[in-house]
């Protein structure tokens, strides 16, 4: 069964064709990152206008790169939320119109659930019960998954999402947007033990909190400025009387985030006796997080390649396939749901 997936919840316009929920036949992503970089973050109105321009050409490319014609497509899966309302509307209405015109079943997909299903597009098929850490620009959720569509929330962020913290800290230390990849690159040249930053352990809870860490970096930079010092661009061993290396700050921040994510995931995996751990969402493409999870958890840890961690439509098609198989389908009155929750 071939499912056409459509994704437009934020600043990526994407279309993909996936066979039987697991085999990627095409995965086309048009990123607006260069357009929004000038503003230091996603501008919703600009994003939805750009989706309008790109959505049809991207869907056509998704079909042609899969070598598929409409006759080969069995269903249309489209992101219904969460996300930016104006952005979601473009993909959802394109999906509804195409499903209606071609007489295909339509299935609205939760974007967060889609991120989890990126793990069905790789390697070995995930086995239940499993633990999934969803870390993106909008979410940091630790979720127990006992079957397809069966989720139990163990913990979530009480303030900033992990990706949001990466983006905000990158802006504070002058690394620009998008922050996650920029911090990862700078951290690679830095020394993570140079600067002491706080970790919110929130005892006896699987919840996270990253805003105190972000504020600690802000105070560090403010203190530096007040003392007439500056942040230097990544000179190795760059901490002098006059300057602090941006790379050392990036490495220390990245380590603080990863320490907490790894430790809470490790504890939850042991407490619930899961068979494996899945990583999902844009922050799951972070190399340090992937490496430490694989090394320190003591059970199988699976994560998609970076292109399937950040927003894409293949994950939406995969999730749509499993929901269709479970008997779900939507009518043409399907609407966007900007604040949709998974659990």
Spell out the alpha helix ranges (H) of the chain.
Answer: 33-37, 44-65, 85-102, 111-117, 162-172, 179-187, 211-226, 246-272, 287-296, 306-309, 314-325
- Collapsing DSSP to helix, strand or coil, 50 comes out as helix
> Which of 93, 78, 135, 103 shows the shortest CA–CA distance to 304?
135
Q: By CB under 5 A, which span of 198-206, 242-250, 310-318, 332-340 interacts with Zn ion?
A: 310-318
Q: Which of 117, 120, 151, 166 binds ligand KG4 (CB under 6 A)?
A: 166
- By the 8 A CB rule, do 130 and 277 touch? yes
248 forms part of the interface with Zn ion (CB under 5 A): no
- Closest by CA to 106, choosing from 150, 82, 74, 81, is 74
Residue among 5, 91, 108, 179 that touches ligand KG4 (CB under 6 A)? 179
- CB within 8 A of 164, min separation 6: which ones? 137, 138, 210
Site string for ligand KG4, 59-98 (x = CB under 6 A): ----------------------------------------
Q: Are strands 243-245 and 130-135 parallel, antiparallel or unpaired?
A: unpaired
**Does the protein bind ligand KG4 through residue 286 (CB under 6 A)?**
yes
Q: Is 310 in the site for ligand KG4 (CB under 6 A)?
A: yes
- Does 141 help bind ligand KG4 (rule: CB under 6 A)? no
Q: Using CB under 6 A, pick the residue from 126, 178, 304, 320 that binds ligand KG4.
A: 178
Q: Would you count residue 119 as binding Zn ion (CB under 5 A)?
A: no
Q: Per CB under 5 A, does 136 bind Zn ion?
A: yes
285 interacts with Zn ion by CB under 5 A: no
Partner interacting with residue 155 (select from Zn ion, ligand KG4, none; CB below 5-8 Å by kind)? none
Let me know the angle formed at the C-alpha of 178 by 175 and 184, rounded to the nearest 5 degrees: 65
- Residue 7 interacts with Zn ion (CB under 5 A): yes or no: no
Part in contact with ligand KG4 (CB under 6 A); list of ranges 16-24, 161-169, 207-215, 295-303: 161-169
Residue 219 has a CB neighbour count (10 Å cut-off) of 11
Of 62, 86, 126, 137, the one binding ligand KG4 by CB under 6 A: 137
Q: Supply φ then ψ for residue 39, to 5 degrees.
A: -100, -5
Residue in 210, 201, 73 with CA at minimum distance from that of residue 136: 210
Q: Measured from the CB atom, is 163 or 238 closer to ligand KG4?
A: 163
Q: Is residue 31 packed enough to be buried (19+ CB in 10 Å), middle (13-18) or exposed (0-12)? A: middle
Among 7, 207, 311, 330, which residue interacts with Zn ion (rule: CB under 5 A)? 311
Span interacting with ligand KG4, options 118-126, 133-141, 202-210, 328-336, rule CB under 6 A: 133-141
Instruction: Give Cα 219 to chain centroid, integer Å.
Output: 28
Kindly tell me the burial class for residue 49, based on how many C-beta atoms sit within 10 Å of its own C-beta (0-12, 13-18, 19 or more): middle
Q: Which is nearer to ligand KG4, 223 or 307 (CB)?
A: 307
Report the residue number, 19 or 172, with the smaller CB distance to ligand KG4.
172
State which of residues 119, 157, 184, 245 lies at the interface with ligand KG4 (CB under 6 A): 184
Q: Does residue 190 interact with ligand KG4 by CB under 6 A?
A: no
CB-CB contact of 197 with 216 (8 Å)? yes
The verdict on 163 binding ligand KG4 (CB under 6 A) reads yes
d(CA 153, CA 138) in angstroms, rounded, equals 16
Determine the Cα–Cα distance for residues 72 and 25; give it in Å rounded to an integer. Answer: 12
Pick one of Zn ion, ligand KG4, none as the site partner of residue 192 (Cβ within 5 to 8 A by kind).
Answer: none
Is 136 a binding residue for ligand KG4 by CB under 6 A? The answer is yes
List of residues contacting ligand KG4 (CB under 6 A): 10, 136-138, 163, 166-167, 178-181, 184, 281-283, 285-286, 310-311
């Amino acid at each position: 069964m071939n499912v056409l997936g459509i994704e437009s919840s934020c600043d990526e316009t994407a279309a993909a064709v996936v066979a039987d929920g697991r085999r990627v036949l095409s995965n086309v992503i048009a990123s607006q990152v260069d357009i929004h970089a000038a503003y230091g973050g996603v501008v919703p109105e600009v994003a939805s206008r750009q989706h309008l321009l790109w959505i049809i050409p991207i869907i056509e490319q998704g079909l042609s790169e899969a070598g598929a014609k409409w006759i080969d497509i069995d269903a249309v899966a489209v992101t219904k939320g969460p996300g930016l309302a104006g952005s979601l509307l473009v993909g959802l209405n394109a999906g509804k119109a195409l499903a209606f015109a071609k007489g295909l079943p339509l299935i609205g997909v939760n974007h967060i659930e889609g991120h989890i299903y990126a793990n069905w597009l790789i390697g070995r098929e995930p086995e239940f019960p499993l633990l999934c850490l969803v870390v993106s620009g909008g979410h940091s959720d630790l979720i127990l998954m006992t079957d397809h569509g069966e989720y139990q929330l163990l913990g979530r962020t009480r303030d900033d999402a992990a990706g949001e913290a990466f983006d905000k800290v990158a802006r504070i230390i002058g690394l620009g947007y998008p922050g996650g990849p920029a911090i990862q690159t700078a951290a690679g040249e830095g020394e993570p033990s140079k600067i002491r930053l706080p970790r919110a352990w929130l005892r006896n809870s699987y919840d996270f909190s990253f805003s105190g860490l972000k504020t600690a970096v802000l105070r560090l930079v403010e203190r530096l400025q007040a003392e007439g010092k500056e942040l230097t661009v990544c000179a190795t061993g760059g901490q002098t009387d006059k300057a602090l290396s941006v790379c050392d700050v990036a490495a220390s921040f990245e380590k603080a985030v990863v320490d907490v994510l790894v430790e809470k995931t490790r504890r939850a995996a042991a407490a619930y006796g899961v068979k494996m751990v899945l990583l999902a969402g844009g922050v799951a493409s972070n190399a340090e997080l992937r490496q430490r999870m694989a090394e320190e958890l003591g059970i199988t840890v699976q994560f998609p390649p970076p292109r399937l961690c950040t927003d894409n439509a293949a994950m939406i098609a995969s999730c749509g396939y499993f929901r269709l198989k479970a008997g779900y389908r939507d009518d043409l009155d399907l609407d966007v749901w900007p604040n949709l929750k998974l659990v």
